[in-house]
Amino acid sequence: MVSLTEEIHGLMRVMWSGKWAVVTPHTVLSAIWTHIPSFRGYCQQDAQEFLCQLLDQLQNELLKCPSGLIIKINNPWRDTVLARDLLKSLFEGQLISTIVYSNCGHTSFVCESFWDLSLELAITTLQNTSSRRSLSNSSTLFDSLNKFTATEHIDDNIFECSRCQGQHQSIKKQLLIKDPPEVLRIHLKRFRFINNCWRKLTNQIEFPMELNMYRYCNHDNQSVGVVNGEEDTVYDLSSVIVHHGNYSNTGHYTAYCWNNDAGCWVHCNDAKLNRSSSEEVLKSQPYVLFYARRRGRSPVLNRLVNDGDESGPDTKHMRTENI
Ligand SMILES: [Zn+2]
């Protein structure tokens, strides 16, 4: 059985070869149906859920690579990566959770890896005259990040301190980024259960082309990991997934993708690709955002596919058209 990784790699090589105006990814779809059975068929699916399962599957397959297999990537900050660490080296970051116990003041740290940040929309619930709930209609990505990294007071449980073994009724907890990933994926939680139904929050979220994550990173405690400086945490927007529709189980997805070679934004809508402007991208209603760390401005994936065999593995499902 051909792995999903091989199919995706083949598709990338063909797409970036510059030889084909149209690529029909039948074999990738078939491989997805084989390897991710919950996405088999033509049901409406969630893009964020698909990305999680796709990356999980690819990572599991890469873990089967021989332990010493090395891939050349020629990035400014590293030349090679172990095949089994390829996706981790792109998408994985580390969060650090700081917990302060209220009574004794003990501070503990817990680190965990993440492949995306799932953020609440920072919207406020307002009461109008008919006492139906209405929501203020705009907020910024920074509001959501501030909320995600804000110190939380938790007092609805009993917490045992690892140092004094005391039972405490309240703690303060804060999440910060310890190691920023090369590609930061931000999922905005637009779907909310309201009146017994999953509804989409259609609020406008302002987001920047350039995102500096410095203030959301840990730089207080030298012993548990810090970023090198503000210039180390600058990201550039590379893609935006947009969900069109008002419900979670229906709708349509399109995406804006930055094309490094052409130096322009491209709006991808099924088979239609159109050049787009930064203004149009920033006006879109984002569902998932991808930011590439600036030190890796030439994305690793571009380098990988360009370094590969450009003839592609199998062209029988592809056709060319005059541009
Ligand atoms: Zn204690």
Span from the CA of 107 to the centroid of ligand 1 (angstroms): 8
Give the Å distance between the CA of 27 and the centre of ligand 1: 57
Distance from Cα 171 to the centre of ligand 1, integer Å: 11
Q: How far is ligand 1, taken at its centre, from the CA of residue 167, in Å?
A: 8
Q: How far is the CA of 99 from the centre of ligand 1 (A)?
A: 11
Determine the distance separating the centroid of ligand 1 and the alpha carbon of 161, expressed in angstroms: 4
- Domain positions in the chain: 44-307
HEC per residue, the chain: CCCHHHHHHHHHHHHCCCCCCECCCHHHHHHHHHHCHHHCCCCCCCHHHHHHHHHHHHHHHHCCCCCCCEEECCCCCCCEEEHHHHHHHHHCEEEEEEEEECCCCCEEEEEEEECCEEEECCCCEEECCCCCEEECCEEEHHHHHHHHHCCEEECCCCEECCCCCCEECCEEEEEEEEECCCEEEEEEECEEEECCEEEECCCEEECCCEEECHHHECCCCHHHCCCCCHHHHEEEEEEEEEEECCECCCCEEEEEEEECCCCEEEEEECCEEEEECHHHHHHCCEEEEEEEEHHHCCCHHHHHHHHCCCCCCCCCCCECCCC
pLDDT tens track for 239-288: 999 999 887 778 899 999 999 888 999 999 999 999 999 999 999 999 99
Please give the distance, rounded to the nearest whole angstrom, from the Cα atom of residue 174 to the centre of ligand 1. 18
pTM: 0.84
Please identify every stretch of the chain with a pLDDT value under 70, giving residue numbers as ranges: 1-2, 124-136, 221-228, 296-323
For residue 295, how far is its CA from the centre of ligand 1 (angstroms)?
41
Cα 96 to middle of ligand 1, angstroms: 19
Distance from residue 172's CA to the centre of ligand 1 (Å):
13
- Class of 44-307 per CATH? alpha beta
